[in-house]
Amino acid sequence: MAHSVKGFDVGTMNLVGAEQDADGKIKVKLMRHTFLDIEANSFTKNMLKKQKVQYAEMGDKVYVLGDSAFELANIMNKTVRRPMQDGVISPDEADALPIFGLLVEAVLGKPREKGEACYYSIPADPIDASFNIVYHSNVISGALTNLGYTPKPMNEGHAIIFAELAEKDFTGIGISCGGGMFNVCVSYKTIPAISFSTSRAGDWIDKNVAHVLGIKVNRATAIKEKGINLNKPANREEEAVVIYYRNLINYTLANIKTKFEKAEQMPHFPEPVDIVCSGGSSMIGGFIEVFKEELKKLHFPIPINDVRLAEEPLYATAKGCLLAGLSEVE
Protein backbone atom coordinates (compact mmCIF):
# COMPACT_ATOMS: atom_id res chain seq x y z
CA MET A 1 0.00 0.00 0.00
CA ALA A 2 1.21 3.51 -0.84
CA HIS A 3 2.12 5.68 2.11
CA SER A 4 -0.50 8.24 2.96
CA VAL A 5 0.99 11.60 2.13
CA LYS A 6 0.15 14.25 -0.47
CA GLY A 7 2.12 17.02 -2.17
CA PHE A 8 0.53 20.38 -2.89
CA ASP A 9 1.88 23.23 -5.01
CA VAL A 10 0.21 26.50 -4.04
CA GLY A 11 0.94 28.71 -7.04
CA THR A 12 -0.28 32.15 -8.03
CA MET A 13 -1.63 30.81 -11.35
CA ASN A 14 -2.24 27.12 -10.62
CA LEU A 15 -2.89 24.75 -7.75
CA VAL A 16 -1.42 21.26 -8.21
CA GLY A 17 -1.98 18.20 -6.02
CA ALA A 18 0.17 15.06 -6.17
CA GLU A 19 -0.34 11.64 -4.59
CA GLN A 20 0.97 8.13 -4.98
CA ASP A 21 -1.55 5.47 -5.99
CA ALA A 22 -1.65 1.85 -4.78
CA ASP A 23 0.84 0.84 -7.54
CA GLY A 24 3.34 3.51 -6.47
CA LYS A 25 2.63 5.74 -9.49
CA ILE A 26 2.41 9.51 -8.96
CA LYS A 27 -0.92 11.07 -9.95
CA VAL A 28 -1.28 14.84 -10.32
CA LYS A 29 -4.26 17.17 -10.57
CA LEU A 30 -4.00 20.77 -11.73
CA MET A 31 -6.53 23.56 -11.38
CA ARG A 32 -6.33 27.26 -12.24
CA HIS A 33 -6.08 29.32 -9.05
CA THR A 34 -9.01 31.61 -9.92
CA PHE A 35 -12.67 32.19 -9.16
CA LEU A 36 -15.56 34.27 -10.46
CA ASP A 37 -18.66 35.39 -8.56
CA ILE A 38 -22.00 35.50 -10.35
CA GLU A 39 -25.55 36.19 -9.15
CA ALA A 40 -27.18 33.07 -7.74
CA ASN A 41 -30.49 32.10 -9.28
CA SER A 42 -31.99 28.75 -10.21
CA PHE A 43 -31.43 29.36 -13.94
CA THR A 44 -27.69 30.00 -13.43
CA LYS A 45 -27.28 27.00 -11.14
CA ASN A 46 -29.05 24.70 -13.59
CA MET A 47 -26.82 25.92 -16.40
CA LEU A 48 -23.69 25.31 -14.31
CA LYS A 49 -24.89 21.81 -13.30
CA LYS A 50 -25.65 20.94 -16.93
CA GLN A 51 -22.19 22.08 -18.02
CA LYS A 52 -20.63 20.13 -15.08
CA VAL A 53 -18.94 23.32 -13.88
CA GLN A 54 -17.34 23.33 -10.43
CA TYR A 55 -19.01 25.97 -8.29
CA ALA A 56 -19.81 26.73 -4.67
CA GLU A 57 -22.56 28.78 -3.03
CA MET A 58 -21.92 31.29 -0.28
CA GLY A 59 -24.62 33.73 0.82
CA ASP A 60 -26.46 35.03 -2.23
CA LYS A 61 -23.58 34.45 -4.61
CA VAL A 62 -22.36 31.53 -6.67
CA TYR A 63 -18.60 31.17 -7.07
CA VAL A 64 -17.33 29.39 -10.16
CA LEU A 65 -13.93 27.78 -9.52
CA GLY A 66 -10.78 27.09 -11.52
CA ASP A 67 -10.60 26.83 -15.32
CA SER A 68 -14.36 27.27 -15.70
CA ALA A 69 -14.07 30.70 -14.02
CA PHE A 70 -11.45 31.67 -16.58
CA GLU A 71 -13.56 30.50 -19.54
CA LEU A 72 -16.76 32.07 -18.21
CA ALA A 73 -15.01 35.38 -17.50
CA ASN A 74 -13.87 35.61 -21.12
CA ILE A 75 -17.41 34.93 -22.38
CA MET A 76 -18.99 37.43 -19.96
CA ASN A 77 -16.18 39.96 -20.41
CA LYS A 78 -15.47 39.98 -16.67
CA THR A 79 -12.14 39.70 -14.89
CA VAL A 80 -11.46 36.57 -12.86
CA ARG A 81 -10.46 37.00 -9.26
CA ARG A 82 -7.34 35.45 -7.81
CA PRO A 83 -6.86 34.48 -4.16
CA MET A 84 -3.12 35.08 -4.62
CA GLN A 85 -1.21 38.14 -5.65
CA ASP A 86 2.56 38.48 -6.08
CA GLY A 87 3.11 34.89 -4.95
CA VAL A 88 1.25 35.11 -1.62
CA ILE A 89 -2.38 34.98 -0.41
CA SER A 90 -3.88 38.41 -1.10
CA PRO A 91 -4.91 40.34 2.01
CA ASP A 92 -7.14 42.53 -0.24
CA GLU A 93 -9.43 39.71 -1.37
CA ALA A 94 -12.08 39.45 1.36
CA ASP A 95 -13.70 36.43 -0.32
CA ALA A 96 -10.33 34.78 -0.98
CA LEU A 97 -10.03 32.82 2.27
CA PRO A 98 -13.24 30.76 2.16
CA ILE A 99 -12.85 30.34 -1.61
CA PHE A 100 -9.25 29.22 -1.17
CA GLY A 101 -10.51 26.43 1.12
CA LEU A 102 -12.95 25.30 -1.60
CA LEU A 103 -10.24 25.32 -4.27
CA VAL A 104 -7.92 23.30 -2.03
CA GLU A 105 -10.62 20.68 -1.52
CA ALA A 106 -11.34 20.57 -5.26
CA VAL A 107 -7.68 19.79 -6.00
CA LEU A 108 -6.74 17.49 -3.10
CA GLY A 109 -10.05 15.95 -2.06
CA LYS A 110 -10.48 14.79 1.53
CA PRO A 111 -7.60 13.01 3.33
CA ARG A 112 -7.44 9.26 2.73
CA GLU A 113 -6.89 8.79 6.45
CA LYS A 114 -7.36 11.13 9.39
CA GLY A 115 -4.43 13.50 9.76
CA GLU A 116 -2.81 12.53 6.45
CA ALA A 117 0.37 14.59 5.95
CA CYS A 118 0.25 17.19 3.19
CA TYR A 119 3.53 18.82 2.20
CA TYR A 120 2.71 22.20 0.67
CA SER A 121 4.97 24.68 -1.11
CA ILE A 122 5.79 28.06 0.37
CA PRO A 123 8.06 30.72 -1.09
CA ALA A 124 11.41 31.52 0.47
CA ASP A 125 11.84 34.99 1.98
CA PRO A 126 11.85 37.57 -0.82
CA ILE A 127 14.94 39.73 -1.26
CA ASP A 128 13.16 42.61 -3.00
CA ALA A 129 9.76 42.91 -1.32
CA SER A 130 8.22 42.83 2.13
CA PHE A 131 5.66 40.04 1.82
CA ASN A 132 4.34 38.29 4.84
CA ILE A 133 5.24 34.64 4.24
CA VAL A 134 4.07 33.80 7.79
CA TYR A 135 0.50 34.96 7.11
CA HIS A 136 0.51 33.19 3.74
CA SER A 137 1.77 29.91 5.22
CA ASN A 138 -0.76 30.04 8.07
CA VAL A 139 -3.68 30.55 5.68
CA ILE A 140 -2.69 27.45 3.68
CA SER A 141 -2.02 25.50 6.86
CA GLY A 142 -5.46 26.49 8.20
CA ALA A 143 -7.24 25.41 5.00
CA LEU A 144 -5.46 22.03 5.07
CA THR A 145 -6.18 21.51 8.77
CA ASN A 146 -9.88 22.28 8.20
CA LEU A 147 -9.99 19.48 5.62
CA GLY A 148 -8.38 17.05 8.08
CA TYR A 149 -4.75 17.10 6.84
CA THR A 150 -1.57 17.53 8.86
CA PRO A 151 0.11 20.46 7.05
CA LYS A 152 3.89 20.49 6.48
CA PRO A 153 5.44 23.53 4.76
CA MET A 154 8.16 22.95 2.18
CA ASN A 155 10.37 25.51 0.46
CA GLU A 156 9.34 25.70 -3.20
CA GLY A 157 12.84 25.79 -4.72
CA HIS A 158 13.82 22.87 -2.49
CA ALA A 159 10.86 20.87 -3.82
CA ILE A 160 12.33 21.21 -7.34
CA ILE A 161 15.59 19.66 -6.09
CA PHE A 162 13.63 16.69 -4.67
CA ALA A 163 11.68 16.25 -7.90
CA GLU A 164 14.54 16.61 -10.37
CA LEU A 165 17.99 16.02 -8.88
CA ALA A 166 17.78 12.59 -7.22
CA GLU A 167 20.43 11.15 -9.58
CA LYS A 168 22.73 14.07 -8.70
CA ASP A 169 22.54 13.29 -4.99
CA PHE A 170 20.04 16.19 -4.55
CA THR A 171 22.88 18.64 -5.25
CA GLY A 172 22.36 21.60 -7.57
CA ILE A 173 20.20 24.66 -8.15
CA GLY A 174 16.40 24.51 -8.43
CA ILE A 175 14.51 27.53 -9.75
CA SER A 176 10.72 27.62 -9.70
CA CYS A 177 9.67 30.21 -12.29
CA GLY A 178 6.14 31.14 -11.30
CA GLY A 179 3.61 33.84 -12.03
CA GLY A 180 4.05 35.79 -8.80
CA MET A 181 7.63 34.94 -7.82
CA PHE A 182 10.81 33.17 -8.82
CA ASN A 183 11.98 30.80 -6.07
CA VAL A 184 15.62 29.77 -5.95
CA CYS A 185 17.26 27.03 -3.88
CA VAL A 186 20.91 25.95 -3.95
CA SER A 187 21.17 22.53 -2.35
CA TYR A 188 24.05 20.29 -1.31
CA LYS A 189 23.08 16.64 -0.71
CA THR A 190 19.44 17.60 0.13
CA ILE A 191 20.49 20.43 2.47
CA PRO A 192 19.53 23.94 1.28
CA ALA A 193 22.60 26.20 1.36
CA ILE A 194 20.85 29.26 -0.07
CA SER A 195 17.17 29.90 -0.66
CA PHE A 196 15.40 33.11 -1.56
CA SER A 197 12.64 34.42 -3.79
CA THR A 198 12.28 37.48 -5.99
CA SER A 199 9.10 39.35 -6.80
CA ARG A 200 10.01 39.55 -10.47
CA ALA A 201 8.27 36.73 -12.31
CA GLY A 202 5.63 36.07 -14.98
CA ASP A 203 3.20 38.74 -13.74
CA TRP A 204 6.04 41.28 -13.62
CA ILE A 205 6.76 40.62 -17.32
CA ASP A 206 3.05 41.01 -18.19
CA LYS A 207 2.71 44.29 -16.27
CA ASN A 208 5.81 45.80 -17.91
CA VAL A 209 4.95 44.62 -21.42
CA ALA A 210 1.41 46.02 -20.97
CA HIS A 211 2.85 49.33 -19.77
CA VAL A 212 5.33 49.85 -22.64
CA LEU A 213 2.84 48.77 -25.31
CA GLY A 214 -0.12 50.62 -23.76
CA ILE A 215 -2.33 47.52 -23.61
CA LYS A 216 -4.26 45.68 -20.87
CA VAL A 217 -2.36 43.16 -18.73
CA ASN A 218 -4.71 40.32 -19.85
CA ARG A 219 -3.72 41.07 -23.43
CA ALA A 220 0.00 40.95 -22.54
CA THR A 221 -0.54 37.56 -20.88
CA ALA A 222 -2.29 36.30 -24.01
CA ILE A 223 0.62 37.44 -26.23
CA LYS A 224 3.03 35.56 -23.99
CA GLU A 225 0.94 32.39 -23.81
CA LYS A 226 0.04 32.10 -27.48
CA GLY A 227 3.32 30.42 -28.34
CA ILE A 228 6.22 32.82 -28.64
CA ASN A 229 9.89 31.91 -29.10
CA LEU A 230 12.30 34.14 -27.19
CA ASN A 231 14.92 33.63 -29.90
CA LYS A 232 12.58 34.55 -32.76
CA PRO A 233 10.31 37.45 -31.81
CA ALA A 234 7.90 38.05 -34.71
CA ASN A 235 6.86 41.66 -33.98
CA ARG A 236 7.18 44.61 -31.61
CA GLU A 237 4.87 43.02 -29.01
CA GLU A 238 6.94 39.83 -28.88
CA GLU A 239 10.17 41.85 -28.76
CA ALA A 240 8.89 43.57 -25.61
CA VAL A 241 8.27 40.15 -24.02
CA VAL A 242 11.83 39.04 -24.92
CA ILE A 243 13.37 42.20 -23.41
CA TYR A 244 11.66 41.64 -20.07
CA TYR A 245 12.35 37.88 -20.05
CA ARG A 246 16.07 38.54 -20.54
CA ASN A 247 16.02 41.16 -17.83
CA LEU A 248 14.23 38.76 -15.46
CA ILE A 249 16.64 35.86 -16.06
CA ASN A 250 19.66 38.14 -15.68
CA TYR A 251 18.23 39.62 -12.47
CA THR A 252 17.65 36.13 -11.00
CA LEU A 253 21.17 34.91 -11.86
CA ALA A 254 22.82 38.12 -10.59
CA ASN A 255 21.02 37.66 -7.28
CA ILE A 256 22.17 34.02 -6.96
CA LYS A 257 25.72 35.20 -7.65
CA THR A 258 25.51 37.96 -5.00
CA LYS A 259 24.08 35.51 -2.45
CA PHE A 260 26.98 33.13 -3.11
CA GLU A 261 29.56 35.85 -2.68
CA LYS A 262 28.03 37.07 0.59
CA ALA A 263 27.30 33.68 2.15
CA GLU A 264 29.55 32.73 5.03
CA GLN A 265 28.95 28.99 5.06
CA MET A 266 28.85 27.95 1.47
CA PRO A 267 29.51 24.27 0.81
CA HIS A 268 32.32 23.42 -1.58
CA PHE A 269 30.88 21.92 -4.76
CA PRO A 270 33.53 19.48 -6.05
CA GLU A 271 31.68 18.81 -9.35
CA PRO A 272 29.90 21.20 -11.74
CA VAL A 273 26.21 21.32 -10.85
CA ASP A 274 22.97 21.39 -12.82
CA ILE A 275 20.42 24.21 -12.81
CA VAL A 276 16.84 22.95 -13.19
CA CYS A 277 14.02 25.39 -14.03
CA SER A 278 10.35 24.62 -13.57
CA GLY A 279 7.02 26.47 -13.42
CA GLY A 280 4.78 28.07 -16.04
CA SER A 281 7.11 30.99 -16.79
CA SER A 282 9.89 28.58 -17.84
CA MET A 283 7.72 26.96 -20.53
CA ILE A 284 7.97 29.72 -23.14
CA GLY A 285 9.90 28.75 -26.29
CA GLY A 286 13.65 29.40 -26.13
CA PHE A 287 13.72 29.90 -22.36
CA ILE A 288 16.69 27.59 -21.69
CA GLU A 289 18.73 29.01 -24.60
CA VAL A 290 18.24 32.57 -23.34
CA PHE A 291 19.03 31.40 -19.80
CA LYS A 292 22.34 29.90 -20.99
CA GLU A 293 23.20 33.10 -22.89
CA GLU A 294 22.58 35.24 -19.80
CA LEU A 295 24.58 32.80 -17.64
CA LYS A 296 27.59 33.16 -19.98
CA LYS A 297 27.60 36.93 -19.42
CA LEU A 298 28.15 36.50 -15.66
CA HIS A 299 31.23 35.23 -13.89
CA PHE A 300 29.22 32.64 -12.00
CA PRO A 301 30.85 31.61 -8.70
CA ILE A 302 30.47 27.83 -9.19
CA PRO A 303 30.91 25.69 -12.29
CA ILE A 304 27.62 24.80 -14.01
CA ASN A 305 27.28 21.47 -15.82
CA ASP A 306 23.90 21.87 -17.50
CA VAL A 307 20.81 24.07 -17.53
CA ARG A 308 17.57 22.24 -18.25
CA LEU A 309 13.82 22.28 -17.82
CA ALA A 310 12.14 20.04 -15.26
CA GLU A 311 10.64 16.89 -16.78
CA GLU A 312 7.12 18.26 -16.20
CA PRO A 313 7.54 21.96 -15.39
CA LEU A 314 3.99 22.51 -14.13
CA TYR A 315 4.01 19.47 -11.84
CA ALA A 316 7.58 19.51 -10.49
CA THR A 317 6.85 21.46 -7.28
CA ALA A 318 3.89 19.25 -6.28
CA LYS A 319 5.90 16.11 -7.11
CA GLY A 320 8.87 17.38 -5.11
CA CYS A 321 6.63 18.08 -2.09
CA LEU A 322 5.21 14.56 -2.35
CA LEU A 323 8.67 12.93 -2.70
CA ALA A 324 10.00 14.90 0.28
CA GLY A 325 6.99 13.69 2.28
CA LEU A 326 7.46 10.08 1.20
CA SER A 327 11.16 10.18 2.13
CA GLU A 328 10.20 11.22 5.68
CA VAL A 329 7.49 8.56 6.00
CA GLU A 330 9.81 5.71 5.04
pLDDT digits (tens, 9 = 90+) for 146-192: 999 999 999 999 999 999 999 999 999 999 999 888 999 999 999 99
Task: State the Cα angle at 243 between 34 and 172, rounded to 5°.
Answer: 75
Edge-first strand order for the sheet with 304-309 is 191-198, 182-188, 172-177, 273-278, 304-309
Q: 68-82, 84-98, 215-229, 237-251 — which is least confidently predicted?
A: 84-98
Decide if pLDDT at 130 tops 80: no
Decide if pLDDT at 326 tops 60: yes
pLDDT, tens digit, for every residue of 40-53? 777 777 878 887 88
Q: Model confidence at 54, in pLDDT bands (50, 70, 90)?
A: confident
Backbone angles phi, psi at 232, to 5 degrees: -135, 65
C-alpha to C-alpha distance for 209 and 27, rounded to whole angstroms: 36
Backbone angles phi, psi at 36, to 5 degrees: -145, 130
More confident residue, 58 or 8: 8
pTM reported for the whole predicted model:
0.89
pLDDT, tens digit, for every residue of 227-286? 899 999 999 999 999 999 999 999 999 999 998 888 877 788 889 999 999 999 999 999
Q: Model confidence at 70, in pLDDT bands (50, 70, 90)?
A: confident
Q: What is the pLDDT of residue 34?
A: 85
Most confident of 57-66, 93-102, 177-186: 177-186
Helix (H, G, I), strand (E, B), or coil: what is residue 289?
Answer: helix
Report the sign of the C-alpha dihedral through residues 5, 18, 123, 252, in that order. positive
Average pLDDT, the chain: 88
% of the chain with per-residue pLDDT over 70: 94
More confident residue, 29 or 45: 29
Q: What is the pLDDT of residue 49?
A: 81
Decide if pLDDT at 2 tops 60: no
Decide if pLDDT at 72 tops 90: no
Dmax over CA atoms of the chain, in Å, equals 66
Q: What is the pLDDT of residue 174?
A: 97
Decide if pLDDT at 329 tops 80: no
pLDDT, tens digit, for every residue of 281-325? 999 999 999 999 999 999 898 899 999 999 999 999 999 999 999
Sorted by where each begins, the domain ranges of the chain are 34-81, 159-309
What residue spans of the chain are helical by DSSP H? 42-50, 67-76, 96-108, 133-147, 156-164, 202-213, 217-225, 236-262, 287-297, 316-329
Q: What is the pLDDT of residue 44?
A: 75
Q: What is the pLDDT of residue 18?
A: 97
Please report, as a single letter, which amino acid is at residue 101: G
C-alpha to C-alpha distance for 87 and 1, rounded to whole angstroms: 35
User: What CATH homologous superfamily does 159-309 map to?
Assistant: ATPase, nucleotide binding domain (3.30.420.40)
Q: Please compute Rg for the chain using Cα positions.
A: 20
Helix (H, G, I), strand (E, B), or coil: what is residue 222?
Answer: helix
Mean pLDDT (whole number) for 80-92 = 70
Q: What is the pLDDT of residue 219?
A: 82
